[in-house]
Each structure stands twice: as C-alpha cells, then as structure tokens.
C-alpha cells in the first residue's frame, strides 16, 4: 500500500466502523426506492425520476452518513468535471444531467454551510444566550 494512502485508509475504515448502521440503512432505503421506481409503484401520483432519487439520496446522506458541506462541495466539483467530460465528447444528455446534479449538490452544500455557520442558527450562539 502506498504511504500516502495509509492515513486515508485508516480514517475511512474507522469512519465505516462508526457509521456501519447508517451505511446499511442508507443502502437499504436506496435499494427499496430503486425497486419502487422500476415497478412504477407511485406512477400516477409521483414520478420517481433519476433526478429525484439522486436528490433524495443526497439529503438522506446528511443524517445517515453524517455528510457535511465539504462532501457536497466535492461532489459538486466531481459532477462539474463529469459534465465537462461529457460536453467535450458531445454526450449532451449526460452533460446536462451531470450539470444539474452538480447544481443540486452545490445548493445542498451551501444550505448546510449556512445552517451550520450562521451565528443565529448555530449551537454556539444558543449556548451563549443561555449564559
């Protein structure tokens, strides 16, 4: 194993051990949603599109996987690179879809950042009021 990857692998395995229940529940919920989409279960009322599944999985990652704003900013950057790759190769439908996913991840990351660092909404501000 490369020496640069050892600290990351230790961090990853310790994170996976502490969040194993959340990882299992996250995968189970996404599996059920994809099965419901393929069966057309909510078809007349709600269309379970790929965009809705990606958005739901991103929102679900916040409490179950303890995802923070950094993860969503990295996901947005990754989707921007994927969109530019598809744009270069003229796969326009996937380019548009990837750009839409990057916008969603950026929006969720910005909302998380605002809610966690705004003095009015943060826990530190509420604790200062109590003193």
What are 100-122's pLDDT values in tens digits? Answer: 999 999 999 999 999 888 776 65
Q: What is the pLDDT of residues 62-91, one digit of tens each?
A: 999 999 999 999 999 999 999 999 999 999
Beta carbons within 8 Å of 61's beta carbon, 6+ residues apart: 26, 67, 71
Domain ranges of the chain: 36-130
Q: State both tokens at 104.
A: 């969603």
Residue 122 has a pLDDT of 59
> Whole-prediction pTM value?
0.80
32-64, pLDDT tens digit by residue? Answer: 999 988 888 888 788 888 999 999 999 999 999
d(CA 53, CA 38): 12
């Amino acid at each position: 194993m490369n020496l640069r990857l050892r600290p990351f692998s230790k961090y990853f395995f310790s994170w996976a051990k502490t969040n194993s229940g959340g990882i299992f529940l996250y995968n189970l919920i996404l599996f059920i949603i994809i099965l419901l989409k393929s069966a057309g279960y909510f078809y007349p009322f709600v269309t379970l599109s790929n965009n809705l599944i990606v958005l739901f999985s991103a929102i679900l990652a916040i409490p179950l996987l303890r995802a923070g704003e950094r993860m969503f900013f990295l996901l947005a950057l990754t989707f921007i690179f994927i969109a530019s790759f598809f744009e270069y190769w003229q796969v326009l439908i996937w380019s548009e879809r990837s750009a839409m996913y990057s916008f969603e991840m950026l929006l969720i990351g910005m909302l998380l950042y605002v809610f966690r660092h705004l003095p009015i909404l943060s826990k530190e501000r509420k604790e200062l009021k109590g003193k």
